[in-house]
């Protein structure tokens, strides 16, 4: 559940972001406005979401959702920011400039789901460089193995 | 009584040879060979014992048991290890300089063995009593630097290279405070001869007149034999095993044994220089002189082991600055104070 | 007259030295498993350190998608295998949160006891191996001696020393055995003395302090920006322990402190762990005192089928914030599972921390991050 203060503050921050949608327990935003939103959330003195705790993505079949879990160390708020991107064009701006901790997590998400984070160097991190395909996508198949 | 047992044996042997009509030269050569074999036996037996001792002591320090299966109390563990190591293949990696690579573990033993020629094991039991005994010790002792560098360079491995570079830097740096610390002893003794050094300690051991020098010598000697806290050469958590990284089987065992031989050696010299050599303390001459020597030797070896299993490793730049900024000035000051003290005491008329 | 700066200038411009690359790992005594650091060195000084991980990647997130929710529990053991109880706890709590399952009091207390025991066991490994990394082998054996006693207790509870799979949705798999309580009480009496022993042997050592103090300093702003967590974050002086900041389970009932560091150096990161172990002992003692009677398993459905939706839940693991992100499509198998592995994210700081330090410091810094490769590579 969203904290009341966060829910109250979000529309103010999102005035210039038409794609921002405040849901029951999360917010979603279009990929073009994602960096602006995260920067606003981080720099807003009333929310101060200064800590990116988790960054991952899910292949939903028709689209890929990238989620950002933010925490404010000062106020203790939590916020989930979701961002849908098309499956055949999985580009999303990198947030490394805002949260340096996104570095390895973006690489991991790229490695396993093929989400292309723009504006940074991307290299595989867990799988070897010659690996083909993105194993956490639902259409990924591989020969051998138990299942 | 037991004090002269080895000397009597030598005289008996020499007498036997004279009876058999051997010429004087041959007589002396054979006697020298017997002495060498004796020293070698001393080294090997002690090596075996020290390796066992170190492992057992490490066990006790570390709240565990240590090797106790091979032979009584695990005493034959070293033999079993050697048996294993001999039977292992010495792997020679493709890129190494074969000749130097294989020569290094052989040569590492040479300086240590040569140096046992001037160790006074007991009363009248010094294989060769050189006039420049102490000088000889430092001159030959520093040769092992070259061998370390040979091993590290020939291995064609970056860890080995870093290790051997560290070895050179460290051993050169610590040679200086070591020599300077001994200078105080030499000033008091007025001789570089081992037997005179011991003779001069009949009244009072040098450790009491030169305590600072003893501490410097001990610290520097730990560094010379590359043991914790100064084991940056091997530094197993950083550079795997330094110059020994690529060695296996008996070649590795040679490096390993050379380290222990050096421990015996630097301790033997510390005993001679600072602890009165084979002299019995408090006039307790009921034990033969060579027993006293071995007892003091093991006291120092135990100290080496105690330090090793207690302290962590110092970093290489800290090691260098400790050597140059602490030990060298301290040992120079020690030389100065010794000289001043001698001048004053002489003025008083001691 | 030549000044120091002149000399440095000359060294840099007139005497040309080459940089070289040293490949530390994947097989190296100090990398805690299979992990590689590609070091660019200028003599002994680190110019650049690039961390390469993934050698232990088993695709647990992918495997989970083909297992039922209960079958995933053993996989969580195998991530941070030094603190399996905590991994179990994080996973089952996420599911409970998704499904709204009530956990009985006794089970919560048992969970806290197990989690804190594991935290101590994991920190003991960290403290011990750190001693080895600085070169003092003896400290390691003292820590392992005491860890063994904890593992015996954990074996008593769960039947396994490390891969416990003890927790279930709604509670725990077995009640505490009768002989457990007296033994754990005895151990909690002994442990503080053991911690004093480590302080004497490792923390108080002059050389140890010379090696670790002011080495690899991490300031609080960088730590937060890099999403560092756990002892690493708190060593920099940031007070963020989920047990206090956002209490889960029954942690709000216990009286304990969150130790904080001052300098954010390797020494503080090391000391954090010893201080945290002392606090864990306090928590366990209180939990043992308040351990209620009752069932150890709540009312949970036989087949775990969380409602459609997603859930992200975090607990304070031994190495930092351990988060589970689960997406359910209503089937008995997770649609997507993602684990926020603390040591994976903490490790991202390695190259930042190492730059400019010596070769030997890489080992000191890496050890102070305290990684478990099973968790990093997942």
What one-character DSSP code corresponds to residue C102? -
Mean of the pLDDT values across residues C116-133?
91
B237–C136 C-beta distance less than 8 A: no
pLDDT at residue C125, rounded to an integer: 92
Mean of the pLDDT values across residues C147-153?
92
CA distance C328 to C310: 6
Tokens of A7: 């829910």
Interface check A48 vs C, CB under 8 A = no
CA distance B244 to B161: 10
Q: Is the pLDDT of residue A147 over 60?
A: no
Strands A27-28 and A78-86: parallel
C363–B316 C-beta distance less than 8 A: no
3-state secondary structure of C58: coil
Q: Where residue A1 falls among pLDDT bands split at 50, 70, 90?
A: low
Q: How many CB atoms lie within 10 A of CB B345?
A: 10
Q: Looking at per-residue confidence, does C20 or A22 come out higher?
A: C20
Strands C45-52 and C167-168: unpaired
DSSP for C330-348, please give it.
SSSS-SEEEEE-HHHHHHT
3-state secondary structure of A68: strand
B62–C205 C-beta distance less than 8 A: no
- Cis bond leading into B229, ω under 30°? yes
CA distance C178 to C181: 7
B158–C20 C-beta distance less than 8 A: yes
pLDDT at residue C325, rounded to an integer: 92
First to last CA, chain C: 59
DSSP for C345-367, please give it.
HHHTTHHHHHTTSBHHHHHHHHH
Q: Does the interface ipTM go beyond 0.95?
A: no
Q: Is the pLDDT of residue A24 over 80?
A: no
Polymer length of chain C: 378
Minimum-distance CB partner of B63 among C22, C133, C141:
C141
CA angle, B131 as apex, B130 and B132 as ends, to 5°? 85
Q: Where residue C11 falls among pLDDT bands split at 50, 70, 90?
A: low
pLDDT at residue C92, rounded to an integer: 92
Question: By the 8 A CB rule, do B179 and B142 touch?
Answer: no
Q: Is the pLDDT of residue C171 over 60?
A: yes
Tokens of B335: 């030389």
A125–C54 C-beta distance less than 8 A: yes
Minimum-distance CB partner of C210 among B58, B232, B318:
B318
Minimum-distance CB partner of C246 among A76, A99, A127:
A76
Polymer length of chain A: 147
Residue partners of C254: CB distance under 8 A and separation at least 6: C112, C282, C283, C286, C287
3-state secondary structure of A79: strand
The pLDDT > 70 percentage for chain B reads 99
3-state secondary structure of B156: coil
CA distance B33 to C140: 47
Q: What is the pLDDT of residues A79-127, one digit of tens each?
A: 888 888 998 888 899 998 889 888 899 999 999 988 999 888 888 888 8
Q: Where residue C280 falls among pLDDT bands split at 50, 70, 90?
A: very high
Dihedral Cα B23, B26, B28, B31, nearest 10 deg? -120
pLDDT at residue C3, rounded to an integer: 65
Interface check C321 vs A, CB under 8 A = yes
Enclosing H/E stretch for B145: helix B144-154
C360–B235 C-beta distance less than 8 A: yes
Q: Where residue B1 falls among pLDDT bands split at 50, 70, 90?
A: low
Say if pTM beats, i.e. exceeds, 0.95: no
Q: What is the pLDDT of residues B120-159, one digit of tens each?
A: 887 777 777 788 888 888 888 888 888 888 888 888 888 8
Question: Of C346, C343, C192, C368, whose CA–CA distance to C277 is shortest?
Answer: C192
Strands C167-168 and C20-24: unpaired
- B and A touch with 3+ CB pairs <8 Å, answer no
Question: By the 8 A CB rule, do B173 and B324 touch?
Answer: yes
Distances (CA, A) of C14 to A33, B16, C7, C43, C305: 52, 71, 10, 17, 71
Q: Where residue C121 falls among pLDDT bands split at 50, 70, 90?
A: very high
- B and C touch with 3+ CB pairs <8 Å, answer yes
Minimum-distance CB partner of B236 among C29, C202, C210:
C29
Comparing A98-107, A131-140, C87-96, C192-201, the range with the smallest average pLDDT is A131-140
Q: How far A52 CA sits from the closest chain C CA (Å)? A: 6
What one-character DSSP code corresponds to residue B277? T
CA distance C240 to C320: 10
The pLDDT > 90 percentage for chain B reads 3
β-pair partners for A55 = A68
Q: What is the pLDDT of residues C54-104, one digit of tens each?
A: 888 888 888 888 889 999 999 998 888 888 999 999 999 999 988 888 899
Residue partners of C69: CB distance under 8 A and separation at least 6: C95, C169, C304, C306, C332, C333, C334
pLDDT at residue C16, rounded to an integer: 67
Residue partners of A26: CB distance under 8 A and separation at least 6: A2, A67, A79, A80, A81, A82
| Helical H segments across C100-249, by residue range | 105-134, 138-158, 180-198, 206-212, 220-225, 231-235, 242-245
Instruction: Collect all residues of chain B within an 8 Å Cβ-Cβ radius of residue C358.
Output: 315-317
Residue that has been written with the tokens 């920011």 in this structure: A81
Chains that touch A (3 or more CB pairs under 8 A): C
Residue that has been written with the tokens 């001679």 in this structure: B272
Q: Where residue C323 falls among pLDDT bands split at 50, 70, 90?
A: very high
Q: Is the pLDDT of residue B247 over 90?
A: no
Mean of the pLDDT values across residues C258-269?
90
Polymer length of chain B: 350
Burial class (CB in 10 A: 0-12, 13-18, 19+), C109: buried
Question: Which candidate in B312, B315, B317, B318 is best for mutational testing of the C interface (most C CBs within 10 A)?
Answer: B312
Instruction: Collect all residues of chain B within an 8 Å Cβ-Cβ radius of residue C145.
Output: 63-64
Q: Where residue C124 falls among pLDDT bands split at 50, 70, 90?
A: very high
Interface check A74 vs C, CB under 8 A = no
CA distance A103 to A81: 17
Q: Where residue C12 falls among pLDDT bands split at 50, 70, 90?
A: low
Q: What is the pLDDT of residues B37-96, one digit of tens each?
A: 888 888 888 888 888 888 888 888 888 888 888 878 888 888 888 888 888 888 888 888
Positive or negative, the Cα torsion across C222, C226, C231, C237? positive
Q: How far A111 CA sits from the closest chain C CA (Å)? A: 11
- C and A touch with 3+ CB pairs <8 Å, answer yes
Tokens of C183: 């033994």
Question: By the 8 A CB rule, do C229 and C342 touch?
Answer: yes
Distances (CA, A) of B22 to A122, B27, B28, B32: 85, 6, 10, 14
Q: Where residue C283 falls among pLDDT bands split at 50, 70, 90?
A: very high
Instruction: Collect all residues of chain A within an 8 Å Cβ-Cβ radius of residue C62.
Output: 112, 135-136
Strands A63-71 and A78-86: antiparallel
Interface check C362 vs B, CB under 8 A = yes
Tokens of C298: 């709540």
Enumerate the domain spans of chain B.
Answer: 45-348
Question: By the 8 A CB rule, do A79 and A7 touch?
Answer: no
Interface check A59 vs C, CB under 8 A = yes
For chain A, give the longest Cα–Cα distance.
Answer: 53
C44–B313 C-beta distance less than 8 A: no
Half-sphere exposure of C174 toward its Cβ, with a 13 Å CA cutoff? 14
Question: Of A39, A46, A57, A141, whose CA–CA distance to A105 is shortest?
Answer: A57
Interface check A105 vs C, CB under 8 A = yes
pLDDT at residue B83, rounded to an integer: 87
pLDDT at residue B294, rounded to an integer: 87
Q: Is the pLDDT of residue C356 over 90?
A: no
Question: By the 8 A CB rule, do A81 and A56 touch?
Answer: no
Q: Is the pLDDT of residue C302 over 90?
A: no
Q: Where residue C123 falls among pLDDT bands split at 50, 70, 90?
A: very high
Question: By the 8 A CB rule, do A54 and A105 touch?
Answer: yes
Phi, psi of B176 (to 5 degrees): -70, -55
CA distance B256 to B251: 9
Minimum-distance CB partner of B237 among C135, C205, C358:
C135
CA distance B169 to B161: 12
Q: Is the pLDDT of residue B283 over 80?
A: no
pLDDT at residue C324, rounded to an integer: 93
Q: What is the pLDDT of residues B164-209, one digit of tens each?
A: 888 888 888 888 888 888 888 888 888 888 888 888 888 888 888 8
3-state secondary structure of B80: helix
């Amino acid at each position: 559940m969203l904290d009341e203060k966060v829910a109250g503050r979000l529309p103010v921050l999102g005035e210039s972001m038409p794609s921002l949608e405040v849901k029951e327990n999360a917010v979603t935003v279009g990929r073009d406005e994602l960096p602006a939103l995260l920067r606003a959330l981080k720099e807003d003195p009333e929310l101060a979401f200064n800590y990116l705790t988790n960054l991952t993505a899910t292949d939903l079949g028709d689209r890929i959702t990238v989620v950002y879990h933010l925490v404010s160390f000062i106020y203790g708020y939590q916020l989930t920011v979701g961002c849908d991107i098309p499956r055949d064009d999985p580009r999303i701006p990198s947030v490394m400039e805002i949260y340096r901790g996104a570095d390895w997590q973006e690489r991991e998400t790229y490695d396993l789901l093929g989400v292309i984070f723009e504006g940074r160097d991307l290299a595989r991190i867990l799988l070897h460089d010659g690996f083909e395909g993105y194993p956490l996508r639902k259409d990924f198949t591989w020969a051998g193995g138990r299942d | 009584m037991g004090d002269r047992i080895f000397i009597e044996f030598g005289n008996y042997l020499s007498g036997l040879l004279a009876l058999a009509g051997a010429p004087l030269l041959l007589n002396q050569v054979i006697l020298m060979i017997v002495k060498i074999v004796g020293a070698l036996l001393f080294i090997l037996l002690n090596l075996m014992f020290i390796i066992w001792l170190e492992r057992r002591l490490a066990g006790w320090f570390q709240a565990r048991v240590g090797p106790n299966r091979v032979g009584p109390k695990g005493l034959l563990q070293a033999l079993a290890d050697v048996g294993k190591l001999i039977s292992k293949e010495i792997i020679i990696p493709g890129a190494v300089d074969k000749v130097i690579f294989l020569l290094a573990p052989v040569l590492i033993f040479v300086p240590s063995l040569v140096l046992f020629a001037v160790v006074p094991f007991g009363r009248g039991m010094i294989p060769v009593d050189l006039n420049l005994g102490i000088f000889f010790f430092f001159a030959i002792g520093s040769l092992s630097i070259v061998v370390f560098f040979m091993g590290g360079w020939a291995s064609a491995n970056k860890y080995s290279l870093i290790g051997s570079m560290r070895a050179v830097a460290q051993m050169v740096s610590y040679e200086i405070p070591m020599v300077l610390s001994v200078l105080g002893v030499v000033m008091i003794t007025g001789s570089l001869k081992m037997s005179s050094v011991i003779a001069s300690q009949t009244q009072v051991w040098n450790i009491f007149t030169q305590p600072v020098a003893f501490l410097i010598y001990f610290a520097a000697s730990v560094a010379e034999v590359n043991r914790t806290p100064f084991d940056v050469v091997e530094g197993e958590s950083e550079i795997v095993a330094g110059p020994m990284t690529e060695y296996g089987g008996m070649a590795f065992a040679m490096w390993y044994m050379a380290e222990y031989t050096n421990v015996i050696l630097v301790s033997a010299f510390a005993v001679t220089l600072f602890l009165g050599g084979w002299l019995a303390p408090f006039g307790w001459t009921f034990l033969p002189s060579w027993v006293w020597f071995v007892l003091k030797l093991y006291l120092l070896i135990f100290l080496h082991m105690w330090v090793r299993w207690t302290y962590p490793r110092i970093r290489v730049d800290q090691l260098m600055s400790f050597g140059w900024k602490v030990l060298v000035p301290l040992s120079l000051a020690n030389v100065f104070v010794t000289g001043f003290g001698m001048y004053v005491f002489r003025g008083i008329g001691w | 007259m030549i000044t120091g700066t002149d000399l440095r200038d000359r060294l840099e411009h007139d005497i040309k030295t080459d940089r070289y690359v040293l490949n530390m790992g994947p097989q190296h005594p100090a990398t805690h498993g299979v992990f590689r650091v590609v070091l660019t060195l200028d003599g002994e000084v680190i110019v650049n350190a690039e961390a390469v991980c993934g050698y232990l990647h088993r695709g647990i997130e992918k495997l989970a998608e083909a297992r039922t929710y209960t079958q995933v529990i053993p996989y969580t053991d195998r991530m941070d295998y030094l603190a399996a109880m905590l991994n179990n706890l994080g996973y089952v709590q996420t599911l409970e949160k998704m499904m709204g399952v009530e956990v009985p009091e006794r089970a919560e207390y048992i969970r806290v006891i197990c989690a804190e025991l594991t935290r101590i066991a994991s920190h003991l490994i960290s403290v011990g191996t750190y001693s080895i990394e600085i070169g003092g082998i003896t400290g390691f054996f003292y820590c392992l001696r005491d860890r063994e006693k904890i593992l015996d207790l954990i074996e008593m509870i769960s039947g396994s020393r490390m891969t416990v799979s003890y927790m279930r949705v709604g509670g725990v798999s077995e009640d505490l055995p009768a002989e457990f309580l007296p033994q754990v009480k005895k151990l909690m009496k002994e442990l503080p003395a053991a911690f004093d022993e480590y302080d004497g042997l490792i923390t108080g050592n002059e050389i140890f302090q010379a090696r670790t103090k002011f080495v690899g300093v991490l300031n609080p702003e960088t730590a937060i920006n890099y999403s560092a967590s756990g002892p690493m974050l708190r060593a920099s002086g940031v007070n963020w322990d989920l047990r206090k900041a956002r209490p889960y389970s029954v942690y709000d009932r216990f009286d304990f402190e969150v130790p904080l560091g001052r300098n954010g150096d390797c020494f503080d990161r090391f000391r954090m762990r010893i201080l945290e172990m002392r606090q864990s002992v306090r928590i366990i003692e209180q939990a043992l005192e308040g351990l209620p009677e009752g069932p150890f398993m709540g009312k949970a459905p036989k087949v775990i089928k969380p409602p459609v939706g997603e859930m992200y839940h975090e607990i304070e693991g031994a190495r930092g914030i351990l988060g589970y992100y689960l997406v359910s499509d209503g089937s008995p198998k997770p649609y997507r599972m993602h684990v926020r592995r603390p040591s994976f994210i903490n490790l991202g700081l390695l190259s930042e921390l190492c730059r400019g330090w010596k070769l030997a410091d890489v080992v000191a810094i890496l050890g102070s991050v305290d990684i478990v490769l099973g968790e990093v590579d997942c």
